[in-house]
């Protein structure tokens, strides 16, 4: 009976990994723990001197209206973006699955996702102020006629729509990958049994793309909570603070207001929110996958 030989430590392989490991430690691990550390100080982000304040920053932020409003905006933005990206991404993936020239249309829908968020934001900022406003005036649509980005009730929703336009192709591709694993014979059997198109989708296709659905739900929420540059270019967080997200508040507090300790506390809270929501989603959606498998 052969015995497994213990693999000798290979220094060459280790040295090849070292550069990536160093970058990871410096740009991921150190900032993560550094953020936790500075969140308990009154550091201004510039001076080497600071004082420990314990949990004071965390206590203050839960009573700070200038934080609670952006937090609410972020929750709204994440929820609406999650719905739009997954519904539209799934519709496009299924709708383009059996049409002529589907590769061309898939590429066309995916194209906006490779554009820079700042570029998209500035382009749509111009579109809302000029062409869309003219269309709104012509058809009597007051929201567009007066520039929806300047309307406190609609600015954040317009940001959700622009974000969906830019990113939906990326989620569509993940759903397309999931559709490749659906056995066509199952659809044929369902057709023979007289199932309608909707019944085939709901009872055959959707359960079998559960892993793709899980991935997209988690990634869409995570991306939405970390969104910054698109909304910055689109509205700058305005009018007032109507479309300001928590990520923008973190930047403003840390660099504009010179309260890096307070901004770090906000960053920790955002990190914990994302982790908590991700774990809840993962637990619920994985449970759904297991129920389908059984």
> SS3 string of the chain?
CCCCCCCCCCHHHHHHHHHHHHHHHHHHHHHHHHHHHHCCECCCCCCCCCCECCCHHHHHHCCCHHHHHHHHHHHHHHHHHHHHHHHHHHHHHHHCCCCCCHHHHHHHHHHHHHCCHHHHHHHHHHHHHCHHHHHHHHHCCHHHHCCHHHCCCCHHHHHHHHHHHHHHHHHHHHHHHHHCCCCHHHHHHHHHCCCCHHHHHHHHHHHHCHHHHHHHHHHHHHHHHCCCHHHHHHCCCCCCCCCCCHHHHHHHHHHHCCCHHHHHHHHHHHHHHHHHHHHHHHHHHHHHHHHHHC
The answer to whether residue 5 scores a pLDDT higher than 70 is no
197, 231 in Cβ contact below 8 A?
no
Structural domain tally of the chain?
1
Terminal Cα distance for the chain, rounded: 39
Inter-residue contact 264 to 45 (CB < 8 Å)? no
Task: With respect to residue 262, please indicate whether it lies within any of the assigned structural domains.
Answer: yes
Q: Cα 42–46–47 angle (5° rounding)?
A: 70
pTM of the model as a whole: 0.87
Per-residue pLDDT band at 16 (split at 50, 70, 90): confident
Digit-coded pLDDT (tens) for 244-257:
999 999 999 999 98
Task: Give the model's confidence band at 220: pLDDT under 50 very low, under 70 low, under 90 confident, else very high.
Answer: very high
How far is Cα 221 from Cα 270, in angstroms, rounded to an integer?
12
Question: Can you tell me the mean pLDDT for 8-23?
Answer: 84
- CATH number of the domain within which 189 lies: 1.10.3720.10
Going 54 to 55 to 57 to 60, the CA torsion angle's sign is negative
Q: Model confidence over 136-193: pLDDT tens digits?
A: 777 777 777 778 888 888 999 999 999 999 999 999 999 999 888 888 888 788 888 8
1 confidence band (pLDDT: 50, 70, 90): very low
List, in sequence order, every beta strand (DSSP E) within 112-215. Answer: none
Model confidence over 52-89: pLDDT tens digits? 998 999 998 888 888 889 999 999 999 999 999 999 99
Q: Which residue has the tokens 């934080």?
A: 67
Is 2's pLDDT higher than 70?
no
pLDDT at 6: 60
pLDDT at 293: 57
- Residue 23 lies inside a defined structural domain of this protein: no
Residue 179 placed within a domain:
yes
User: What is the predicted pLDDT for the residue at 24?
Assistant: 92
Do the Cβ atoms of 110 and 220 come closer than 8 Å? no
CA atoms of 268 and 6, how far apart (whole Å): 43
Q: What is the mean pLDDT of residues 232-240?
A: 90
Is residue 9 one of the residues assigned to a domain? no
Q: Which residue has the higher pLDDT, 240 or 294?
A: 240
Q: Give mean pLDDT, residues 89-112.
A: 88
The encoded tokens of residue 274 equal 């994302």
With bands split at pLDDT 50, 70 and 90, how would you rate the model's confidence at 4? low
Reported as a single tens digit per residue, the pLDDT across 112-131 is 999 999 999 999 998 888 88
In whole angstroms, give the CA distance from residue 193 to residue 209: 22
Residue 4 lies inside a defined structural domain of this protein = no
Q: Is the pLDDT of residue 98 over 80?
A: no
Domain containing residue 73 = 38-293
Question: What rounded mean pLDDT belongs to the chain?
Answer: 87
pLDDT of residue 169: 93
CA distances to 115, 127, 152, 186 from 123, in Å = 11, 6, 20, 45
Q: Within a domain: residue 132? A: yes
Q: Say if 22 falls within a structural domain.
A: no
Domain assignment present for residue 88? The answer is yes
């Amino acid at each position: 009976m052969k015995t497994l030989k213990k693999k000798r430590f290979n220094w060459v392989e280790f040295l090849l990994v070292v550069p990536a490991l160093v970058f990871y430690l410096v740009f991921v691990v150190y900032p993560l723990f550094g953020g936790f550390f500075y969140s308990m100080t009154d550091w201004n982000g510039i001076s080497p001197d600071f004082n420990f304040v314990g949990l004071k920053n965390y206590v203050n932020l839960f009573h700070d209206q200038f934080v609670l409003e952006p937090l609410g905006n972020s929750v709204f933005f994440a929820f609406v973006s999650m719905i739009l990206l997954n519904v539209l991404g799934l519709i496009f993936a299924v709708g383009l699955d059996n049409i002529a020239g589907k590769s061309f249309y898939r590429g066309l829908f995916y194209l906006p996702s490779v554009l820079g968020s700042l570029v998209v934001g500035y382009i749509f900022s111009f579109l809302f102020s000029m062409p869309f406003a003219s269309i709104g005036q012509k058809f009597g649509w007051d929201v567009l006629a007066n520039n929806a980005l300047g309307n406190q009730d609609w600015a954040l929703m317009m940001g959700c729509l622009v974000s969906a336009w830019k990113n939906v192709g990326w989620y569509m591709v993940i759903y397309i990958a999931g559709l490749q694993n659906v056995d066509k014979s199952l659809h044929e059997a369902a057709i023979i049994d007289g199932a309608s198109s909707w019944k085939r989708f709901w009872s055959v296709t959707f359960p079998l793309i559960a892993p793709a659905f899980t991935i997209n739900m988690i990634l869409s929420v995570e991306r939405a909570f970390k969104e910054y540059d698109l909304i910055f270019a689109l509205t700058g967080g305005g009018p007032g603070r109507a479309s300001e997200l928590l990520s923008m508040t973190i930047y403003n507090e840390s660099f504009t207001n010179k309260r890096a300790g307070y901004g770090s506390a906000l960053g920790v809270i955002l990190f914990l929110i994302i982790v908590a929501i991700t774990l809840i989603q993962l637990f619920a959606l994985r449970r759904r996958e297991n129920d389908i498998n059984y």
